[in-house]
């Protein structure tokens, strides 16, 4: 199985080189890296063009298309069996690529997210269940009245020592999706610019 990595950038000059360096430590597991830039106005493209990253393709959008459209553009230019979408401010800490290939070879899974560790070294929320309709209404009112959300009760990796968590959805920070499944659902829904 071949892994295509797709990274969407927008004014990501502060993080993108660190991200790429962390990914390319595991280049024997990676088929290709595609960066889709959403018309950055900082030095993102300059840094990428100056860097000597072999085998990285850079696609430039003429305007900020948002996350979902840019991910779909990157996917359409890729040809790996597994698509790995990651944010430019993420850093790969171990060989998640080898593990992802093992999991997809041995299980029927539609989407996979590695554990996400924040800047302080603690596990971040990343695995969630779908809310039930009463919760959605209450949370919506809570959000409107107090500008806060109580989505913690939907979080499945909170105090969970399990190595594998089966969940309904994961954050967009770091996602592996088999190409055939990605194509079957027509990629990311393009009506959502960000955060959904």
Q: Which domains does the chain have, with CATH numbers?
A: 3-115+171-184 (3.90.550.10)
Q: Which band of pLDDT confidence, cut at 50, 70 and 90, is reported for residue 131?
A: confident
Report, as an integer, the average pLDDT of 10-29. Answer: 94
Report, as an integer, the average pLDDT of 31-49. Answer: 94
Lowest mean pLDDT among 19-33, 50-64, 131-145, 180-194: 131-145
For 70-127, how does the pLDDT look when each residue is reduced to its tens digit (9 = 90+)? 999 999 999 999 999 999 999 999 999 999 999 999 878 889 988 888 888 877 777 7
User: Given this model, what pLDDT does residue 165 score?
Assistant: 74
Share of the chain above pLDDT 90, in %: 55
Query: What's the rounded Cα separation, in Å, for the pair 190 and 67?
Result: 8
CA 46 from centre of chain: 23
Report, as an integer, the average pLDDT of 56-62. Answer: 94
User: Given this model, what pLDDT does residue 34 score?
Assistant: 96
Q: Which band of pLDDT confidence, cut at 50, 70 and 90, is reported for residue 195?
A: low
User: Given this model, what pLDDT does residue 153 score?
Assistant: 54
Average per-residue pLDDT for the chain: 85
Neighbours of 137 (CB within 10 A): 11
């Amino acid at each position: 199985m071949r892994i295509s990595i797709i990274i969407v950038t927008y004014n990501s000059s502060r993080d993108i080189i660190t991200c790429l360096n962390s990914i390319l430590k595991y280049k024997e597991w990676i088929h290709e890296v595609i960066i889709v830039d959403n018309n950055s106005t900082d030095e993102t493209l300059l840094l990428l063009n100056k860097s000597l990253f072999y085998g990285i393709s850079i696609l430039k959008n003429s305007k900020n298309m948002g996350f979902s459209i840019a991910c779909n553009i990157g996917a359409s230019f890729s040809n790996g069996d597994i698509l790995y979408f990651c944010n430019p401010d993420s850093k790969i800490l171990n060989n998640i690529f080898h593990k992802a290939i093992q999991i997809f070879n041995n299980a029927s899974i539609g989407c996979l997210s590695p554990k996400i560790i924040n800047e302080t070294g603690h596990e971040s929320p990343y695995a969630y269940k779908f809310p039930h309709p009463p919760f959605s209404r209450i949370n919506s009112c809570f959000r409107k009245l107090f500008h806060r959300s109580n989505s913690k009760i939907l979080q499945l990796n909170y105090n969970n020592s399990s190595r594998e968590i089966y969940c309904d959805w994961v954050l967009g920070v770091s996602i592996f999706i088999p190409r055939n499944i990605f194509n079957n659902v027509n990629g990311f829904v393009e009506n959502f610019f960000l955060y959904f």
